[in-house]
Amino acid sequence: MDERLERYVTELFAAEDPVLAAVLRRHADLQLPPIHISPDEGKLLYVLLRAAAATTVLELGALAGYSGIWIARALPPHGRLTTIERDPRHAALARQAFAEAGLAERVRLVEGAALDVLPTLAPGFDAVFVDADKEPLAQYFEWSMRLLRPGGLLLCDNAFFHGAAVDAADRSAQAEGVRAFNRLAAADPRLAATIVPVRDGLLVGVKIR
Ligand code: DHB
Ligand code: MG
């Protein structure tokens, strides 16, 4: 999206509060990779989760907690975000962010590699947000479908992967992973899906059977 239009959407619909602003400032100060979602993408996640009346959400890749705050805020007080983070430094920052946002009770952060944690989780999630490493995305797709309830939302960040999704010359494991996830989502008869061109592309699907 044109940067001016993105700013227009953000200022109108996703203006940052002090808590989110502090999380992003800390993120930048610590020179963490600048790969967190954008405010307009956060608002889209929030709207979708409210539309689905989601109470239980699974996130793969907490990073420093920015997306987790948008997600957890969309849930009712008794709702629960389960978020998986492999990097202990990121996990500590995410915990701090959830506490500062008053959301600690609503979030369960599980430290570990997603492929180790996923087999320990009970199915039935109202939504899954995939935003972790890209190579294993085909496996993340299968796990997400297994853990989603019928009618649940499948959400996946970086569907375009900076344009690599359509760059046939990019044979990197990351680009292949992104393309594999998109292909699986498009072809799976259990899913109705598309890609919303927000930031780096947000794949949105609903498990229809
Ligand atoms: C990258 C970007 C992301 O948003 C992400 O979740 C993972 C990786 C990247 O640019 O490499
Ligand atoms: Mg991402």
Q: Considering the chain, what is the average pLDDT of its residues?
A: 97
The predicted model scores a pTM of 0.98
Contact 159, 201 (CB under 8 A): yes
**pLDDT surpassing 90 at residue 69:** yes
Furthest CA-CA distance within the chain: 47
CA of residue 59 to ligand 1 center, whole Å:
15
- Percent of the chain at pLDDT > 70 equals 100
Mean pLDDT of 175-189: 98
Q: Is the CB of 173 under 6 A from ligand 1?
A: no
Three-state secondary structure call for residue 83:
strand
Pocket probe mutation, ligand 1, options 129, 134, 178, 199, max atoms within 8 Å of Cβ: 134
In this prediction, residues 60-71 reach a mean pLDDT of 98
Q: How confident is the model at residue 9 (pLDDT cuts 50, 70, 90)?
A: very high
- Residue 66 has which token pair? 């920015």
The tens digit of pLDDT for each residue in 143-152 reads: 999 999 999 9
> Which ligand 1 atom lies nearest to the CA of residue 158?
4
pLDDT at 16 over 90: no
Residues with CB under 5 A from ligand 2 (ion): 131, 157-158
* Beta carbon of 157 within 6 Å of any ligand 1 atom: yes
pLDDT of 100 higher than 80: yes
23 to each of 97, 105, 139, how far by Cα in Å? 6, 18, 30
Q: 172 and 164 in contact (C-beta within 8 Å)?
A: yes
